[in-house]
Amino acid sequence: MNNKKYIYVKKYKSDITEKIEVSEEVYTEYWKYTEKEKYFKKYERNKISIDDIVIDCKFNLEDHIITKLMLDKLNVALSKLNDEEFKIITDIFFNSKTEREVAKEFNCKFYKVHTKKISILKKLKNMLKNEI
């Protein structure tokens, strides 16, 4: 039985690999170190740094404030709608219902709901234009 152990070492500043005979102890330590290095490289690849998170966020305060102001104006405009108009808009845009489902609730044809939706959107647009 051949008890000789070898490791392959790359020569310094070269692409040439050299086969070196080593003792059992050196061989074992070499592979422990190699496996540990692989583990840490894998761990580093999966690790997320705080810099990655901060760069990916790209939080823009100005856009956030503008969006908040527009949402406040939209809420004011929505509050000025009558109950039927408010229900149509909230069902379609906030509750993800189709015009056909809303029409079924109102017991009417879907094109009537569609026409009403278009007119409500125009009304909201005018309200928002006047507030700005």
For the domain covering 61-131, report its CATH number.
1.10.10.10
What are the Cα distances from residue 111, in Å, to 84, 115, 121?
16, 6, 15
What pLDDT band is residue 119 in, cutting at 50, 70 and 90?
very high
pTM above the 0.75 mark? no
Sign of CA pseudo-dihedral 76, 78, 81, 82: negative
> What pLDDT, in 10s, does the model give residues 95-109?
999 999 999 999 999
Give the distance between the most distant pair of CA atoms in the chain.
Answer: 93
What pLDDT band is residue 113 in, cutting at 50, 70 and 90?
very high
Task: Give me the pLDDT at residue 31, please.
Answer: 81
Residue that is written with structure tokens 């507030």 in the block: 131
Task: Give me the pLDDT at residue 51, please.
Answer: 58
User: What are the domain boundaries of the chain?
Assistant: 5-47, 61-131
> What pLDDT, in 10s, does the model give residues 11-62?
777 777 788 788 888 888 888 888 878 777 776 666 655 555 555 456 677 8
